Amino acid sequence: MKNKYKWLTMIGLVTLGMASVSVTNPEADPLPNILLILTDDQGYHDVSYYGTSDLRTPNIDQIAKNGIRFDEFYANCPVCSPTRAALLSGSYPDVVGVPGVIRTFPEDNWGYFNPKEPTLPAMLSKKGYQTAIIGKWHLGLESPNTPNERGFDYFHGWLGDMMDDYWAHRRHNINYMRENNKVIDPEGHATDLFTTWSQDYIKKQAKSKKPFFLYLAYNAPHFPVQPPKEWLAKVKAREKGIEEKRANLVALIEHMDDGIGKVVNTLKDEGLYENTLIIFTSDNGGHLPSMANNGPVRDGKQSMYEGGLRVPACMSWPGRIKGGRVSNQTNLSMDLYPTLLQLANVEPKNIHGRSFLPTLLNENQIMVVEERDLYFTRREGGKEYGGMASYGLRKGKWKLVKNSPHKPMELFDMESDQLEKNNVIDQNPQVYAELNKLLMKHIQEGGSVPWQKPQ
């Protein structure tokens, strides 16, 4: 079923066959290292490269300045686990068993990452990559869905979902901090720990001749919003009159940005910077109760409106990518999978994502309109969802939204109504019928995949 998703390609550079483009010469050009930085609940405009006046993220901004900024980058879901599943599988999250959030207790768990899906690190390892995840996993708490069993050579971080405290590192009073399979109990703010562990990993890999793939997944700035005191004081001193909630979020993001800068500087110190592709993005839109800034788009985390799905994204590769570029190409989290595999000359099989490597590598790339339907699913429990799902479907200029299982469908013309203010479903019954039919087919495909652990 997955091959039903088709697209048009970039003129003159790539064809539908992933193996049709050789990006590197394995005998002459060393494969690049890959640093993939994923933040948690960072708002679309909670980066200062968009001119956000109360926040400063110089290190994230530098990635954008040195490479390419994607202004229409989407998370695969407005919540955590599904986007992470899409990123690591190259497919829609419900189709790989993760339509909702994976949690500690079975009655509140809405996903089971299909163990048969080949993951990004497992595929990259075929080309000799050393693979590591440092930070938040959130795709399973036990075998066979632990990081070391799903393709990562090394895991140093947090097995679960959110932390109840950034210093205590507990969830439901359970310690999910691990080094590979070993339970550890380190001291310090989680952001600082993940930064330091990433620096240590890079220093170790600098001694190896093999390329590495480092997936650095910060918990920040997910609530509880707990920045170090000195960072909060710095923000309050600079931003006179800033609201307390906003000050805390800004401080937590700026503290994380400082950590990102330290990791990038370690690449420079070890002589690895020029040949490292650095990717920065977030797993979903910003959390509005924490006063996240999602820019001009509607709503935030958990929502199928743009504010729940649109995320900041930028990428640099000093040795290959010309800096200062901005792209309006629409890409999703799952597109990183085929993009990175094409970079390593590995051909993925039977996925929904499509590579945007030509956009990265060619500053004069001629683009054509993509014929690709984009699906978004989120299943959840509780009174608001009752075990049912919300949906989004984007086809051309049209966007079909069911933002709650208990609310009717809405239709928006995204060319004339990017803020999703005017529901035009009654005026366009044929469009609604067409999109609804497509959505039902996708729901059937996702529904054929178990999302509960087999008993």
Sequence-distant (6+) residues with CB within 8 A of 308 are: 78, 284, 285, 299, 300, 301, 302
Place of tokens 């480092």: 214
As given in the structure block, the two tokens for residue 327 are 């792209």
Catalytic residue, candidates 45, 138, 287, 442: 138
Pick the catalytic residue from 77, 80, 156, 169. Answer: 80
- Which regions of 253-409 does DSSP assign to beta strands (E)? 276-282, 310-311, 313-316, 325-327, 331-332, 374-379, 389-395, 398-402
CB burial of 291-317 (b: ≥16 within 10 Å; e: otherwise) equals bbbbbebbbbbbbbbbbbbbbbbbbbb
Structural Rg of the chain based on CA atoms: 21
The pair of three-digit structure tokens given for residue 19, joined into one six-digit string: 């193996």
Dist CA 69 CA 414 (whole Å): 21
Best CA proximity match to 259, nearest among 294, 237, 228: 228
User: What is the dihedral angle through the alpha carbons of 135, 113, 378, 213, rounded to the nearest 10 degrees?
Assistant: 40
77 is catalytic: no
For residues 407 and 98, what is the distance between their CA atoms, to the nearest angstrom?
23
Q: Can you read off the two tokens belonging to residue 202?
A: 């890079």
For residue 257, give Cα distances in angstroms to 101, 220, 231, 411: 26, 10, 11, 37
Strand residues in 78-191 grouped as ranges (E): 130-136, 154-158, 177-179, 182-183
Answer yes or no: 172 catalytic.
no
What residues form DSSP beta bridges with 217? 38, 135
Among positive and negative, which fits the CA dihedral 175, 178, 182, 184?
negative
Identify whether the C-beta of residue 131 lies closer than 8 Å to the C-beta of residue 410.
no
Q: Is 260:59 a contact under the CB 8 Å cutoff?
A: yes
Residues classed as catalytic? 80, 138
